[in-house]
Amino acid sequence: MSRTRARQTISHVNLHYSDASDGPAAALLLEACGLTRSQEMGLPQGGTFYRFTTNRDAPNQADNIVYLSPLPPATAALIAAARSGLGMGTSDEHPTVGAYRAAHAADPEYNFHLGFLIDSLDVLEERFLALKALEANDPLFRGRLKFLVNRALPGDPAIDARLDGSPVYRGVARYTYGRNGVQAFCETDLIVDGPLGDGLVLEFDYVFPGYAENIMSVSEKTR
């Protein structure tokens, strides 16, 4: 068989929560993001291992999988040592910590993040508003989620009109790196990531159909 004809997809992403008590909330969050929970297994060392998939109609399919489990002890120890060495949260905090966090706050795509492409803008809007409602009303999520959105670059009358009427993108002055698509970001500390064990950014994308280029095919330097 010619290797050039072999199909290749992304099989999985492995995520972690730092505290065993955060596992159930982190799992509920991924379900609220549209993933299907297909396995849940208690671990002898504590915590729970979860398997999620975006393949709702074929949950046993071997790609588009998200695994969620406790942060491994060696990783947790390394992060703790890094935080201590940098004086995080103290009056002697190293200036690179503040600079890193400021850069991340300004651009949710600055570091590793996990993106989901949704083929309906209506569904993206409903899902994003539901996440904001969770943060506002559910004690499990209150103070654990942050939100930011990027609107499509202006210039297409049909897209501009749709977004002017959007409950999520109306009045937004932040723009995507490319055209003909939108982004919505949810940052959570229920799932840890990055060199300091900070929160993970979950991204939701939509591209408008019928265009030769979109935010997923061509990037433009706009920020």
What's the mean pLDDT when you consider all of the chain?
A: 94
Q: What percent of the chain has pLDDT over 90?
A: 89
* pLDDT in the model for residue 147: 97
* pLDDT in the model for residue 3: 66
Indicate if the pLDDT at residue 1 is higher than 80.
no
Residues 78 and 115 in one domain: no
Q: Is residue 112 part of a domain?
A: yes
Residues 112 and 201 in one domain: yes
Residues 120 and 223 in one domain: yes
Average pLDDT on 77-92 reads 95
Residues 46 and 142 in one domain: no
Domain count, the chain: 3
Residues 116 and 176 in one domain: yes
pLDDT tier for residue 67 given thresholds of 50, 70 and 90: very high
Residues 113 and 214 in one domain: yes
What residue numbers bound the domain in which 80 lies? 74-106
Residues 112 and 199 in one domain: yes
Residues 180 and 152 in one domain: yes
Residues 141 and 209 in one domain: yes
Residue, of 221 and 11, whose pLDDT is higher: 11
* pLDDT in the model for residue 128: 98
Residues 217 and 115 in one domain: yes
Indicate if the pLDDT at residue 158 is higher than 80.
yes
Residues 146 and 211 in one domain: yes
Q: Is residue 215 part of a domain?
A: yes
Radius of gyration over every alpha carbon of the chain, rounded to an integer in angstroms = 19
Residues 133 and 199 in one domain: yes
Q: Is residue 2 part of a domain?
A: no
Secondary structure in 3-state letters for the chain: CCHHHCCCCCCEEEEEECCHHHHHHHHHHHHHCCCEEEEEEECCCCCEEEEEECCCCCCCCCCCEEEEEECCHHHHHHHHHHHHHCCCCCCCCCHHHHHHHHHHHHCCCCCCEEEEECCCHHHHHHHHHHHHHHHHHCCCCCCCEEEEEEECCCCCHHHHHHHHCCCCCCCCCCECCCCCEEEEEEEEEEEEECCCCEEEEEEEEEECCCCCCCCCCCCCCCC
Indicate if the pLDDT at residue 19 is higher than 70.
yes
* pLDDT in the model for residue 218: 84
Q: Is residue 163 part of a domain?
A: yes
Indicate if the pLDDT at residue 221 is higher than 70.
no
Among the ranges given (71-75, 77-81, 174-178, 218-222), the one the predictor scored with the smallest mean pLDDT: 218-222
Two tokens, residue 101: 């966090």
* pLDDT in the model for residue 48: 97
